[in-house]
Structure 1
Amino acid sequence: MTSLAESMVLTVDRDSVCAGDDCASHVCAFSVPSAASLSELIYQAKKACELPGISGGKATWIVEAGGYDGMPIAVVAQQWDEARTVIPSSTTVARLFADLEKQLFFKYWCQANPETVFDALVSNSPLPSRYAS
């Protein structure tokens, strides 16, 4: 069992945003304290696996815990200063990954309105098209 004072090593990956972006793997490993908050987890993951800036400044990303098609935990938007969490922000890294693969995935939701994506995730409603603006 992992102590809350310990660190956890996670992998993070992201979708490619264009054909030239998929020439190399985006998978990175990083360490984060087990007691870290969701905002710290996402901050560290973004440092490890930098999200590309999109022309027009309106990229939307769904952060999934457990890897690709995992549990949505947050929305990151290029036009927002901070991620918005879908699950309680008090959830620690240790609690989040207690029963999940120690992986995060940033799923590119193109230029879809991040507010609409966030609202859909919070209400467990269908996501808007990733190709709609």
Structure 2
Amino acid sequence: MFKATNEFSNSIYGIFKATNDIHNAINGIVKAIHSIVNGLENGMNGLNNTINGIKNAIYSINNSLYCIDNAINNLKNAINGMNTSLYCIYNSINGLQNAINSQNSFTNQPSCFFTIQLRVFTN
């Protein structure tokens, strides 16, 4: 009878120990799930930060492209202004050459601006 009671007691202890082991295993699973959730949250935060960084980089690129576009337009305007100035210089040179040719036709002198200027002032 004592042996049977002892075995029964050992069985109850085994049940309690198995129940405790199951409880510990469930706690381990819950902790693992919390770790997974925290990892996912951290990963999502990291992904959001990465996406925001990419968005900011794209905005920066767009701003740079806008600046480049403005610079190109300014360059075009400067080139057009330079072309206009060169055209004016060309016309001035042609006018000067015509004046020299006209003066030379009256004086039969070599084409020399300094001489022409002197003749203009001394005539």
TM-score range, shorter chain: under 0.3
Q: Which has the higher contact order (CA 8 A, sep 6+)?
A: 1
TM, length-normalised to structure 2 = 0.16
Task: Report which of the two has the higher share of helix.
Answer: 2
Instruction: Select the structure of larger CA radius of gyration.
Output: 2
- Structure with a larger share of its residues in strand: 1
Q: What is the TM-score when the length of structure 1 is the normalising length? A: 0.15
